């Protein structure tokens, strides 16, 4: 028997977006900070053990395909499933909520084995495309390595279903705590066994299995035979999943171009992607805003405040990374198999890719509205735009200009800008009004403050070692940004509290 029934009713919480939600944001931010710290620690181990190698390139190729085919279903659960479960709980009560959640869990268990088998078959079929630039022995390594991913792939669907239940019940801390446990357990496994690249997916699989068990115990299992299940939940999830798979075509195009990069190029993108994605996840607060946005009351104002707050945070974060990319990469990864040459290349790519941080934080809540409002057809338009942008920009920067891994980075930034413009137009068609003047003013203010802080901090730390540069430069940078943002504290109060 679960204790979730003791929680406050969903309607009483999700209808507000003031101080109660802000408390969830603060606590979530703290947990996410721990996740980023330990996640970087895990990546430091990976860099030291595997460096920029073809083996790690192969691992990332499989992981990227797994993300397209299976792992990105977390977004479907986080938006369609969580939003629908919140609505069922508010409108139909606890019994209907549990019945819908139970059915979702059982369906995810049934689909987990199919997803593992389907993923293996998909990789074999798509290997000539996603590994077009690999030779025969490198492709054989990929086929061999995929078997070690299958337990991990089979676990994630039930894990997402249980997480959706707990998020809909506002049990964010349990979900994020379990994700932290995944990181810590995988670090321990990787620390003990790292003789070959096969140990890496095994470490992740063990971590997710332990977290799955812990979350299942916390969730419990309650029968609700008298209530009707929520209609259309699985159908809505299937529609969104189909849209995601269509979007996966852009990922396949991306993998095709990446396979032609020099040895280690895919590895560079993997290390840089970890840093940029962690920052994006931190700034968007793990998308817990899906729950309040699921309620119609004040949705336009909530979205407006989210976007202004996100841009005021993301621009200084991106500026700091650009200014101190060299010390950041050197301090984090330059050891073992990760050479100074590898560190310099990774820093260059990081400076480019972090430019997309602002667009990604703006995109996140806008895109989620498509699932919340059941405008799945707009998701198709989004992914079509992404496919066209990826193919066009990758062809220009990678093939025509021959910029190798830096070209991939510039192509991804250009695609994110194009996608933001298109999504903004689609959001307006959803009937959600965004006052872009306020967002643009926040962008300009954040950019000016960031530029001033970057100039002062980099000059002061220019002759220092990596660690000293980050400490001294970071203190100066943070002081300048903090002082400027203190001057607009009334605007921050409005963003946080709406008053």
Residue pLDDT, tens place only, 116-149: 888 898 888 888 988 888 988 989 999 999 999 9
Residue 309 tokens, joined: 């707050």
CA terminus-to-terminus distance, the chain:
41
pLDDT at site 233: 63
Does the pLDDT at position 261 exceed 70?
yes
pLDDT for 143-168, tens place per residue? 999 999 999 999 999 999 898 888 88
Residue 338 tokens, joined: 């990760």
- Give the start-to-end residue ranges of the domains of the chain: 7-497
Does the pLDDT at position 297 exceed 80?
no
Does the pLDDT at position 43 exceed 90?
no
Does the pLDDT at position 185 exceed 70?
yes
pLDDT for 210-241, tens place per residue? 999 999 998 887 776 554 545 566 666 666 66
Residue 473 tokens, joined: 């430069």
pTM of the model: 0.71
Average pLDDT of the chain?
83
pLDDT for 65-98, tens place per residue? 888 888 877 767 766 777 778 777 777 778 888 8
């Amino acid at each position: 028997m679960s204790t979730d029934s003791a929680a406050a009713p969903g309607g009483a919480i999700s209808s507000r977006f003031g101080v109660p939600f802000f408390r969830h944001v603060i606590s979530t931010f703290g947990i996410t900070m721990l996740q980023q710290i330990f996640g970087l620690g895990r990546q430091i181990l990976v860099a030291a053990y595997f460096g920029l190698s073809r083996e790690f390139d192969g691992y990332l190729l499989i992981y990227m395909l797994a993300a397209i085919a299976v792992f990105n279903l977390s977004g479907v659960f986080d938006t369609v499933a969580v939003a629908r479960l919140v609505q069922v709980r508010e409108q139909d009560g606890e019994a209907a909520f549990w019945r819908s959640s139970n059915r979702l869990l059982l369906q995810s268990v049934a689909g987990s084995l199919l997803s593992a088998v389907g993923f293996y078959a998909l990789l074999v079929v798509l290997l000539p495309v996603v590994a077009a630039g690999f030779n025969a022995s490198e492709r054989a390594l990929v086929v061999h390595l995929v078997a070690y991913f299958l337990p991990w792939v089979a676990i994630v669907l039930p894990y997402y279903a249980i997480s959706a239940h707990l998020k809909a019940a506002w049990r964010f801390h349990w979900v994020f705590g379990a994700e932290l446990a995944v990181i810590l357990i995988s670090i321990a496994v990787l620390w003990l066994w790292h003789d070959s690249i096969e140990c890496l997916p095994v470490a992740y699989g063990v971590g997710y299995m332990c977290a799955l068990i812990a979350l299942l115990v916390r969730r419990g299992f309650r029968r609700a035979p008298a209530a009707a299940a929520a209609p259309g939940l699985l159908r809505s999830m299937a529609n969104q999943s189909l849209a995601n798979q269509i979007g996966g075509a852009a990922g396949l195009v991306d993998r095709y171009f990446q396979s032609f990069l020099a040895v280690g190029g895919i590895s560079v993108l993997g290390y840089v992607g970890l840093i940029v994605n962690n920052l994006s996840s931190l700034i968007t607060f793990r998308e817990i805003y899906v729950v309040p946005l699921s309620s119609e009351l004040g949705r336009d104002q909530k979205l407006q405040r989210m976007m202004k707050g996100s841009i005021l945070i993301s621009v200084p974060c991106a500026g700091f990374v650009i200014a101190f990319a060299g010390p950041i990469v050197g301090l984090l990864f330059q050891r073992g198999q990760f050479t100074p040459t590898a560190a310099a290349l990774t820093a260059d790519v990081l400076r480019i890719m972090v430019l997309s941080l602002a667009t990604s934080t703006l995109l996140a809540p806008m895109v989620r509205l498509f699932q919340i409002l059941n405008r799945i057809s707009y998701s198709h338009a989004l992914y079509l735009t992404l496919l066209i942008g990826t193919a066009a920009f990758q062809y220009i920067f990678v093939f025509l200009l021959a910029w190798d891994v830096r070209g991939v980075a510039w192509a991804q930034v250009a695609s994110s800008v194009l996608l933001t413009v298109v999504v903004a137009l689609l959001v307006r068609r959803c009937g959600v009004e965004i006052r872009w003047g306020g967002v643009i003013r926040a962008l300009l203010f954040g950019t000016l403050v960031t530029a001033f802080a970057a100039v002062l901090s980099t000059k002061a730390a220019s002759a220092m070692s990596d660690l000293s540069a980050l400490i001294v430069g970071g203190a100066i940078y943070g002081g300048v940004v903090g002082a400027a943002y203190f001057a607009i504290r009334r605007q921050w109060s409005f963003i946080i509290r709406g008053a």
